[in-house]
A and B are shown apart, each in its own frame.
Chain A
Amino acid sequence: MKVLSKLVAIVLVIALIGGMFIVSSTGKAASNVPKNFVKVTYLMLGDPPTNGQLEKVSAEWNKVLKKKVNANLELKFTGWADWYTKYNMILASGEPIDLITSADDWLDLWPNAARGAFKPLDDLLPKYAPITWKSVPQSHWKLCKYNGKIIAIPEDQFTQWVNHGFFYRGDWARQAGIKLPIKDFETIEKYLDWIKKNKPGVIPWDAAVSIGQEIWDGWVESHTDAIGLPFGTGYHRIFWGKSAKDWATVYSPIFDNTMIEYAKMMKRWSDKGYFRKDVLTYKGDTRSALKEGKTGLDEHHTQTYLGLRVDMDKKQPGSDLQFFPWCYTRGNLVRLSILHGATCVGRNSKNPERALMVYDLIRNDPQVYRLVNYGIEGVQYILKKKNGVLVRATPPNYDENKHAFWSNFWGGRNDKLEIPSENTPIEIRNQLWGYFDKIAKDFPYTGWAFDPKPIQAELAALSNITNTYGPAISFGKVKDPVKAVQEYRNRLKAAGYDKALKEVQKQLLKFKKQMANQ
């Protein structure tokens, strides 16, 4: 008896603890009857705001959604900690999530489609997301198909330029006697050299090692007409399409002079001390250093530049921050994939119809759009006119800690409903955008559902080798660049480069045929 009573006591204690701890928030089983109230979940990347604003703004949009489609929208965030694992894990586990943020170039849209993570939407879209269905041209919908079925909604009605380039200081460049704007790597070298000689205490380019991946892309884009294929191979992108015209021919600039010249230049930069001696381990923050006037060069894309320019004018007055996008050298620029942002419906979604109805509102209803993207008017932003344009301004009693709000909605923003922030340097923006728009060619690979399966082992092995050899070559930490590149190539060959190239080429030609037939 005693044993029994003890055990019972233990069980009770555990049960009690359990009871105290259960804060389960799984929604009640929802029915498919549209008249019924349902809760729609939407998987977002990153951390949610933790200042209570998400709850407040959610309450606002839920009022609207309740009225219009008898549903509520709950955002689920992956968190930034280990987000890549977690995102894929959530998809792998088949949790019944309704809407899922995806992207072909950084969130594995096609591999996940191949693994059966998403629901086909052909029948649902026209009925339940009619506005979106009509606003996305049929030619775009074609590109969102896997095995002949639409599995993603593209963010194709939103203009953003995320083409990369160097940021440099206009004031220093002018002092160095350089004619602005800088249009090639060679002039950047002159600029860095001037800093090294004339600005003691400044590291000309205080780069963190991860940036080398983007510099390689930039080098190739400014020295060839090649277009990067939309799948990663680690530190260096190995596979490229020959040019915008000859996009279905695969080749690798690692195996021609492009890589040799790159390795040589970076060796020179390293020897001259343009970056830290132990740059390969440095994980610091180039951008902060730039703002502190401790370095003269940074790298990122157009959107970042537009924000940073304003910031630099405040932090380093007179610095006149300039931008050298890679396409300045020879006009090699392609538009962003329309699937750079996308929304999919989860395979186990219980309410795909209602999810699409909600999505249609987020994307096309001005009221919901503003709530989801900007928050509550008067709290997160106020509207005003600037030079005749409607812009968002910061409310007078706005406190970043208390009022900041974001939803990370990157799967269907819409130019028609966008309101620029008053801080955007609109003139610089328009000038850059206008130029890009003029020279840019369409991205030829959207809709190419590359299937890595046949060369999975090779891709992993190749990625490992670029991740191993890439950083040292990209930052000149090799004795003899030519020899190092040769060794690099040998290792890639040994890891199955030829087999992988053949397979990629095969799949690309198949895609080309398919496009021609449509």
Chain B
Amino acid sequence: MEVSSKETRIQQDTSGIVIKIVAYIFITLFTLACLIPFIIVISTSFTSESYIIKHGYQLIPRQFTVFAYKLIAADPQYLIGSYVVTILNTLIGTTVGLFLIAMTGYALQRPDFPYRNTISFYIYFTTLFSGGLVPYYLLVTQVLHLKDNYLAILLPSLMSPWLIILMKNFMKSIPHSITESAKIDGAGDFTIFVRIILPMAKPALATVGLFLALGYWNEWYNAMLFLSSSVKYVPLQLFLYNVVSKADFIRNSAAAANVPPQDIPMESMKMATAVAATGPIILVYPFVQKYFIKGITVGAVKG
């Protein structure tokens, strides 16, 4: 946030300068640490397979080739389909989930809501005990009948106890007096939530929304379990996972006497698929982030 008064700026103390210097150094170093593996992934995806086998992964592409990308591009419809599935899933899941989480979080922090602790515990308890894989699988396939249905990857990730409690905590910082005065004006709880609280809770919405969206974007486990071959397009991360694990399987095939021996550049393929699957989100993310930052600062200046 910008500190408005010029005087205070000039009054920068020595600790401020030291901390600033530390901040730039630390953040820069950590950022570099986060960046380097990415450069390796990109660069390896452009390196010829034989070079990778001989010399390992590269920071700068050697024996530059786009062969791996050509292989991906030769049949792009599944990658594109995966994008569509993931983007739709992320958009819908984040929007619906965020609304439900915010609604619950708001209700749960209201000091005048007698059941708030009971419900909080009811929600939190699910993080401790779960039925495990088989009962969960039976639930989704036999009770909800969601096998091969995209709802099987949308619904289970809509809410999580962690995000609800986080939201509840954020909501706490909105003074209860605002709710009370609105009530005196005669507004119902739901109206207060939609009209007053939601617009004020932008930082919370931005944060929780980001977590939800990242969760949806990275989702592959439910897809692996519930979307079988009869679904044409799977989410991106599963698509990526399939490329990697299939390559591993062919290589280590203990059982598959019959997997056709393929002459694909597996190492660079893995990397190229990783780039193709994550690259675009990285290009798009700054634009989304603009919205987040804006949301955060607008929300912070509350009146």
Task: Report which A residues bind B (CB closer than 8 A).
Answer: 2-3, 6, 10, 13-14, 17-18, 21-26, 45-48, 50-51, 74-83, 85-86, 89, 92-95, 103, 106-107, 160, 162, 208, 210, 283-285, 287-289, 292, 294, 301, 303-304, 307-308, 311, 400-402, 404, 406, 408, 410
Contacts and interface: CB of A to CB of B under 8 A. Distances in A.
A171 B282 CA distance: 50
A21 B91 CA distance: 13
A303 B266 contact: no
A284 B49 CA distance: 13
B53 A93 contact: no
**DSSP class of B's interface residues: helix, strand, loop or mixed?**
helix
B162 to A, nearest CB: 23
A82 B230 contact: no
A311 B263 CA distance: 9
Contacts of B78: 50
Contacts of B119: none
A17 B256 contact: no
Contacts of B133: 85, 89
B245 interface: yes
9 contacts: A23-B150, A47-B246, A50-B78, A78-B228, A92-B137, A106-B254, A288-B49, A294-B54, A406-B260
A13 B97 CA distance: 13
B252 A208 contact: yes
B251 A287 contact: yes
B10 interface: no
Given A46-B256, A86-B225, 6 more contacts: A75-B229, A77-B228, A81-B224, A208-B252, A285-B267, A410-B258
A58 to B, nearest CB: 11
Which of A78, A283, A401, A402 has the most chain B CB atoms closer than 10 A to its own CB? A401
A400 B252 CA distance: 22
A46 B150 CA distance: 21
B154 to A, nearest CB: 7
Which of B78, B141, B228, B266 has the most chain A CB atoms closer than 10 A to its own CB? B228
A3 B74 contact: no
Contacts of A162: 257
Contact of A2 (B191, B228, B229, B249): B191
Contacts of B254: 106, 210
Nearest to B99: A10
Which of A3, A23, A45, A287 has the most chain B CB atoms closer than 10 A to its own CB? A23
Given A77-B228, A86-B225, A401-B75, A93 B242 contact: no
A332 to B, nearest CB: 20
Contacts of A308: 261
Interface string B208-239: 00000000000010001100111100000010
A93 B259 CA distance: 27
Nearest to A6: B190
B157 to A, nearest CB: 14
B151 A18 contact: yes
Nearest to A95: B141
B225 A89 contact: yes
A307 B260 CA distance: 9
Nearest to A4: B190
Contacts of A2: 188, 190-191
Contact of A303 (B147, B149, B257): B257
B224 A47 contact: no
Given A50-B78, A160-B257, A80 B246 contact: yes
Q: How many interface residues does chain B have, given as a range?
A: 35 or more
Contacts of B246: 46-47, 80-81
Nearest to A295: B53
Which of A50, A75, A160 has the most chain B CB atoms closer than 10 A to its own CB? A50
Contacts of A107: 255
Contact of A93 (B134, B148, B188, B262): B134
Interface string B96-112: 10010000000000000
A45 B241 CA distance: 16
Given A81-B238, A292-B54, A401-B75, A21 B252 contact: no
B228 A289 contact: no
B194 interface: yes
A301 B257 contact: yes
Contacts of A307: 261
A402 B242 contact: no
Given A79-B224, A81-B241, A22 B151 contact: yes
Contacts of B248: 283
A162 B254 CA distance: 10
A21 B53 contact: no
A285 B53 contact: yes
A162 B255 CA distance: 9
B199 to A, nearest CB: 16
B259 A46 contact: yes
B166 interface: no
A80 B242 contact: yes
B255 A106 contact: yes
A30 B149 CA distance: 21
Given A2-B188, A93-B141, A106-B255, A21 B149 contact: yes
A106 B253 CA distance: 11
A426 to B, nearest CB: 17
Contacts of B149: 21-24
Contacts of B148: 23-26
Given A95-B141, A294-B54, A25 B49 contact: no
Contacts of A82: 224, 245
Nearest to A85: B133
Interface in B46-61: 49-50, 53-54
A80 B231 CA distance: 15
A24 B237 CA distance: 21
B138 interface: yes
B75 A402 contact: yes
Contact of A77 (B137, B191, B229, B259): B229
Which of B75, B154, B231, B255 has the most chain A CB atoms closer than 10 A to its own CB? B255
Nearest to B92: A17
Contact of B229 (A17, A26, A79): A79
Contacts of B27: none
Contacts of A401: 71, 74-75
Given A162-B257, A410-B258, A22 B150 contact: yes
Nearest to A286: B251
Given A81-B241, A288-B53, A288-B266, A21 B224 contact: no
Contacts of B99: 10
A436 to B, nearest CB: 15
B137 A89 contact: yes
A497 to B, nearest CB: 24
Nearest to B133: A89
B198 to A, nearest CB: 12
Nearest to B260: A406
Contacts of B134: 89, 92-93
A408 B70 CA distance: 26
A93 B230 contact: no
B28 interface: no
A132 to B, nearest CB: 20
A288 B190 CA distance: 63
B137 A93 contact: yes
B258 A86 contact: no
